[in-house]
Structures are given as C-alpha cells and as structure tokens.
Amino acid sequence: MNVNLFLLIAFCIAILFILFLVAKLRRVRGQLSIIEEALEDIKSGNLNHRMLAKRNDMTRKICYGINDIAMNSQTQLIRQKQSEQAYKRLMTSISHDVKTPLASLVGYLEAIECKIVAGAEKDEYVHVAFEKAHYLKHFVENLFEWVKLDSGEQIFHFEISDLNELSRNIIVDWISVLENSNFDYVFDIPETEYLMRIDTNAYSRILNNLLQNVLIHSKGTKIIFHVFENDLQAKITITDNGKGISPDHLPHIFERMYQCDQSRSAGGNGLGLSIVKELVAAHKGTITACSTPNRGTTFTLLLPKSL
C-alpha cells in the first residue's frame, strides 16, 4: 500500500515537472519570437527598440545583449552624423578661408604683372601679396596638422626635458615680436630644473599658438607668462589685458573652425586653439580659459609631470 502511494506521488511529481517544463518552453518560445521580431526591427533601422526581460527569464542575457548592441549602434550613428556635419562645416570654412585671400592674392599679383601699379604703390602691393601668401601658408600648415591630430596619425616623441629651459627658449623668440607690436610683457619662469616627459615640438606649438592668439586677437597691450610647478604637475598661465571673450563664445573657442567677430578668432582660421587642445590632450593635460570682457583673458595649461 505504501509502495503504491509512493508511486502515485512520484507520478504526480513527474507530471507537474513535465507541465512546468512545457510552460517554461512555451515562454522561452514566446521570448524567442519577440527577440526575432526585435532583431528584424533593429535590422530595419529602428535603433530605439529596447527589450524588456524579467530576472528569471532564460533569455535575459540575450535581451540585455541586444539592447547593448542597439545602444552602441545608436551612439556610433549619432557620432557619425555629428562627424559628417562637422566635416561639412569644416569644408565650408576651408573654402571661405582659402578662397577669399587667394582671390585677393591673385588680384594683387595681376595688378603687378599687368604693370597697373608702379613705384611705391607696387611695393605696397608686393607687401600685401606677401602677407596673403604667408596667411595661406600658415593656414595650410595648421590644417595639415589638425587633420593628422584628428585622424590619430600624429606621431609624438616623448622624452625627459627641462620644462623651464624649454619654455625660456620658446619665449625668447617672442620678445622682439612683442616689442615690435608694442606689447609689454612679464615672463615668470623658475630658474630651477623641472624634468618631465614631454614632446618638445608639441609643447613649442602649444605656446606659440597661444602667444600668437594673444598677439593677433586680444587687442591688448600686455602679456603675462607664469610657470608654477609642484611634484605632480606644471601649471602655465598666459594672461592678457585685451578685449576679452564674451560668455557666449568662451565655451566654444577650442572647437575646430570656430570663428566669430565678437570673439578673439576674428581674422584667424579657427584652428590654432583646437590644435592646442589636441596637443595638450596628447600629454594627458588640460587647457582652459577664463575671461572678462574688456579686462582680458587667461589661458591655463595643466601638464602632469609623468604620463
């Protein structure tokens, strides 16, 4: 009797287990059908599709994986569209920045070639043509460097160098330029040695671009260059007493091809500061700017002592 009862209980348990498996398989089958529909929807281009799953669902990891794929694909698509828009703006800006001075250069040279001008006026035309050609050369060099940085093709050579000595060597070449431009200057660079890993060419380009930005766009009369150092990083500030940058434009000055007459970039090509930002990032550093309209601007460069 006890044996029959045991067999009956075992049979009931087996039936219940089979029913449970059937129900589970049906649910899995239904989930697989939903997954198939979701994949078709995502495949057709709907990257906003997301799948819901309970914690005890057997297909939970698959659903979450599909959601991750859709989110990553959506992020890549957004970045691709942003990149395409940025390059369209870049091409438009390049066309304008090259076409205008080039047309002007051709005009001056044609006047000289056709002997329309002579004497002092001819010398003036030659001087203006030279400046236009120099602008185009500088623009092409900046553009070439920016393209290499943006594509990750720029090769850096990091080596142990004395930051202070390197800074002095760069700054000394600017003294005559600043004096000829009627700029007062204060250079505060420690006499002590400060060794750090740095790409000397990139660092030179960073300082040259920042100083050129002040000289051309600040409309100021004084520049202050400070180097502060500790065991972790070097802090370099470049301050001018010029017209400053309005709060509307300040967040955008390091963007590529950013130009606005009310910012410092009027007359530039919008590449100098964006190159600075990329070169600083290659050194794991940061570059920021703070400004007060009509009172001046300060660029602050932070470079870690060890990469």
Return d(Cα 281, Cα 270) in angstroms, integer. 18
Residues 144 and 166 in one domain: no
Give a yes or no: residue 88 inside a domain: no
Give a yes or no: residue 86 inside a domain: no
Give a yes or no: residue 179 inside a domain: yes
In this prediction, residue 189 carries a pLDDT of 94
| CATH code for the domain in which residue 107 is found | 1.10.287
Taking the alpha carbons at both ends of the chain, their separation in whole angstroms is 82
Residues 64 and 42 in one domain: yes
| Mean pLDDT in order along the chain per 10 residues (307 residues) | 69 77 71 75 76 70 80 83 75 73 87 87 88 82 78 85 95 91 93 93 92 89 94 94 88 73 49 89 93 92 85
Residues 170 and 215 in one domain: yes
If we measure between CA atoms, which residue out of 226, 221, 258 comes closest to residue 243? 221
Give a yes or no: residue 192 inside a domain: yes
Residues 119 and 175 in one domain: no
Residues 100 and 188 in one domain: no
Residues 210 and 115 in one domain: no
In this prediction, residue 262 carries a pLDDT of 42
Phi and psi based region of residue 115 (left: phi greater than 0; alpha: psi -120 to 50; beta: remaining): left
Number of domains making up the chain: 3
In this prediction, residue 172 carries a pLDDT of 92
Query: Of 47, 77, 107, which closes a domain?
Result: 77
Give a yes or no: residue 85 inside a domain: no
Residues 191 and 172 in one domain: yes
Residues 213 and 261 in one domain: yes
User: Which pTM value belongs to this model?
Assistant: 0.64
In this prediction, residue 258 carries a pLDDT of 64
In this prediction, residue 307 carries a pLDDT of 60
Beta-carbon contacts of residue 232 (< 8 Å; ≥ 6 apart): 304, 305
Is-contact 302 230, C-beta < 8 A? Answer: no
Residues 68 and 101 in one domain: no
Beta-carbon contacts of residue 165 (< 8 Å; ≥ 6 apart): 193
| Boundaries of domain holding 134 | 93-151
In this prediction, residue 268 carries a pLDDT of 56
Query: Of 77, 101, 133, which closes a domain?
Result: 77
Residues 138 and 33 in one domain: no
Residues 11 and 68 in one domain: yes
Residues 164 and 294 in one domain: yes
